[in-house]
Amino acid sequence: MKTITLIAIGILLFSTQFITAQAKSDTLYNRKENISRSADIACRYYYYPNLQVYFDTKRALYISKQNGVWVTSETIDMNARGYCVKNGAYVMIKGYGGNQPYVLLDQHKIMYPANFSSRPTPMIIASID
């Protein structure tokens, strides 16, 4: 009888851990979802200074200059030589919702120069006034 009681208590404690873990996970997921939704509304473009490439969050396309012409694509050109956008520095361009962020490229190159250091750099949030 004592063993059965201890097993029942153990199962009860073990199951409550999963319930609270699921609740914490759901809260975290909802928070991330809300942040990404607000980021999508406030920030349409990311700028990658090392590549001079933009990412359009609305259309999920990269905008890059190839042979003197601005083109869109789902992936970055192989000329990036192993550059990983997930690990690279980028700037969130806030306040610009047009379809041609590259018209601001000269400004962005001055404000956010390329940094080819191997050390991680923080994300920057820029506002276009």
Which residue segment(s) compose the domain that 50 sits in? 43-127
Note the pLDDT of residue 37. Answer: 47
Note the pLDDT of residue 85. Answer: 63
> Does residue 11 fall inside a structural domain?
no
Q: pLDDT tens digit string along 27-52?
A: 444 433 444 444 445 789 999 888 88
> Does residue 6 fall inside a structural domain?
no
Note the pLDDT of residue 30. Answer: 43
| Domains in the chain, number | 1
> Does residue 18 fall inside a structural domain?
no
Question: SS3 string of 81-111?
Answer: CCCCCCCCCCEEEECCCCCCHHHHHHHHHHH
> Does residue 36 fall inside a structural domain?
no
Q: Among residues 28, 26, 61, 25, which one has the least CA distance to residue 46?
A: 61
Segment-wise mean pLDDT, segments of 10 residues, the chain, 129 residues: 79 66 45 44 84 91 92 79 67 88 93 75 59
> Does residue 98 fall inside a structural domain?
yes
